[in-house]
Amino acid sequence: MAFELTKEELMVQKMTREFAQKELVEQAAENDKTHSYPAEALKKMGELGYLGMLVKEEYGGDDAGTVSYALALMEIAAADASCAVIMSVHDSIGCGSIQKFGTEEQKKKWLEPMARGEFIGAFCLTEPEAGSDPQSMGTTAERNGDDYIINGIKRFITTGKNAGVYVTITKTDPAAGSKGMTAFLLDQSLPGFIVGRVEDKMGQRGSDTTDIILENCRVPASRMLGKEGEGFMVAMSSLEDGRIGVGSIGCGIAMAALGETIKYAKQRKQFGRLIAENQAIRFMIADMKMKVEAARLLILNAASKKDRGESCALEASMAKCYATDIAQEVCGEAIQIHGGYGYLTDYPVERYYRDARITTIYEGTNQIQRIVIANEILGKIIS
C-alpha cells in the first residue's frame, strides 16, 4: 500500500537526511575505527530536537509523533547506526519511561534536560543471566531507612559509560515474580555505582556498551520511578516505541546499503560493460529495493497506529522483526555485488553489514518477536 506522509513528516524526513548526510556520515567511519563516542554529533542532535522527539512540549520536547520519529531514525541510521541506537534508547525507553511514570519533580530534574539533549538516558534491564527473561534477574533493592541498597550487575547497557541517568529495573520482592520488580533512576554520582569496561563489539562501535555494577549502591527512595512493584510495567511500557525504533534503525542501514550498491553498480565495469546492465545484478538490486520498501511500510504502519492511540504490539513486533532480518540480507547482498571490494573497510557496506547484525538481537531478539507475533495472532498456548 502507499503511505501518504504529511507535510510536517516530509519536512522532518528531508531535514534529517540533510543533517545526517552533512554532519554524521564522514565521522561515522572514523568513530567505528577508533571506537569513539559521538559526543559532538549528539550535541547537535540535541540542539535540533532529535533527543526529545517523543517528549511532550510541556517538558521541553517536540512531541513530533512516532511516524516522524521513525522517519528521523531511518535517516540517522543510514548515516551512522551508532548515533541512531543511542537516540533510540534515549528517546523511547529513557525519556518514555520517565514521561509515563515519573513524578513532576523527576520530570523537571531528568526529563526536561534529556529532551534538550543535555545528557543521554540509558536503560538497565539485561543481566548476565537474564536477557529475554527479565523475571530471572538477580539485581535486588532492599529498603534501608529513606534509601534503597541495590546490588547486582546489568549487562550490555547502551551508553553505559556516557549516560547521565540510568532507568534501572530491580527486584524489591524476589518472591513476587513480575509484581516484585521496581524501577529506579540512578546516576554515576551514587556511591557503589560502577561502570564496567567498554565492550569491543562487532558493529555500532561508536555506541559504548558496558556493564553497570551495583555494589551496595545507596539510592534515595525519591529516585524510585513509579511505585514499588511497578518495575515490570516500566520495562514493558515503551516496548512498542523501542521496537519501532530498532526496526527503523535496521531499515535505515538497509537503505544506506542499497544506495551504495546502486551507485557502485552504475560505476563498476566487467566484461566491457557496467555491472548494472547484467540481469543477475539487476534482479538482486530489485529484490533489495522490495525488501527495504516493505520494511519501511511495516514500520510506518506500526508508527501510525501508535500515533492514533491504537494498540500496535503486533505491528511493532512485525516491523522490528522483518526490518532487521532484511537489513542483514540487504547488507549481505550489497557486499556480494561489491565483490572483493565489499569485504574491505574502504567501502562502507562492510560497516553496514556489521552494524546490521545486532539489530536482530537487541530490543527483543527476533525469535522473541516471532513468539509475540504468533501469540497476537493465535493466542497464548498454555502447556
Distances (CA, A) of 158 to 2, 96, 332: 35, 16, 25
Phi, psi of 127 (to 5 degrees): -130, 170
363 noted as active-site residue: yes
Question: Which grid coordinates belong to 125?
Answer: 534491564
Q: What whole-number distance in Å separates Cα of residue 291 and Cα of residue 306?
A: 23
Q: What whole-number distance in Å separates Cα of residue 232 and Cα of residue 79?
A: 34
Q: How many residues does the chain have?
A: 383
Q: Which of 142, 199, 363, 376 is catalytic?
A: 363
> For residue 336, which of 289, 293, 277, 275 has the smallest C-alpha distance?
275
347 Cβ neighbours under 8 A, 6+ residues apart: 260, 264, 338, 341
Cα dihedral 270→272→275→279 (10° resolution): -120
Enzyme catalytic residues: 363
